[in-house]
Amino acid sequence: MDIILIGITLLLINFIKTAESNAHCSDITNVQRLDCYPNVGSNESGCIERGCCWMPNNEQDGLPYCYFPKDYSAYTVVSTQQTKNGFIAQLSKLNPTYYSDEIKNIAVEMREETSTRLRLRFTAPSQPNRWEPSIQLGNPDNIPIENVQYKVSMEKSPFGLKIMRNTKEQEVLLDSTGSLSSSFIVSDQFLQISFRVNAETSFGPGEVEQKYPNDFETWTRLGLWGHDGDPHSYANLYGTHNFFM
């Protein structure tokens, strides 16, 4: 009798976990799906190994079958330090399952540089010599900056940011909080952060010929920064950087 009771208990626990997992997957609409397996060869076993949801759907071309659940392991804020023009937050992820080389501890710096320019910088304290693009953005304004046109708020668990207009209405421009926190990945060869944008349509991005405007009401993948040019020595040919929206 004891063995039967134990077996029933284990079965019940497994059923509850499965039901909870299904709930975290089924609550996500098609347009909210964040691709958990963007590389070639997406399959159910590989998707589940990453801890993601697998749900085939033939209603729309390009819709990812494998996507992040709402309860996916995410970064949380361990500590924050205020600076003269922003803050530095230390983040930690306890159980990363996406890539074996995910960086568990990272830092994010929010820096107000001008009244219309905000800089977000993500670094890995364990890799102080990690390469960074040497892009010249222009000198920052003197502190204190006058008439700053944006505001930033941060959620700590899970980590997420909201960037808003500095007006009475506080219109949200970019939002990485809530379910989007789960898709924030930092590893040696894969970097990803997701934002909601306050728009229903868009133009561009990059050199592209397509229907205008881009419709954000359906799931779409757009390559960023397409560039064309005549072939010549020591220069890139036509291509699109591996940045997607």
Query: Which pLDDT tens digit goes with each residue over 51-64?
Result: 999 998 777 777 89
Select the highest-mean-pLDDT range: 54-68, 140-154, 173-187. 140-154
Q: Encode burial over 18-55: b for 16+ CB neighbours within 10 A, e otherwise.
A: eeeeeebbeebeeeebbbbbeeeeeeeeebeeebbbbb
In this prediction, residue 115 carries a pLDDT of: 95
Of 129, 100, 107, give the one whose Cα is nearest residue 187: 100
* Domain 30-67 identical in fold to domain 75-127+141-197: no
Dump pLDDT digits (tens) for 209-225. 667 777 777 777 776 66
Q: How many whole angstroms separate alpha carbon 103 and alpha carbon 20?
A: 28
Distance between CA 88 and CA 93 in Å, rounded?
17
189 Cβ contact partners less than 8 Å away, ≥ 6 residues apart: 101
Provide the pLDDT confidence category of residue 157 given band limits of 50, 70 and 90. Answer: very high
User: Which CATH number is associated with domain 30-67?
Assistant: 4.10.110.10
- Map out the domains of the chain as residue ranges: 30-67, 75-127+141-197, 201-241
Domain 75-127+141-197 has CATH 2.60.40.10: no
Q: What is the structure's pLDDT at 4?
A: 41
CA 216 to chain CA centroid, Å, is 17
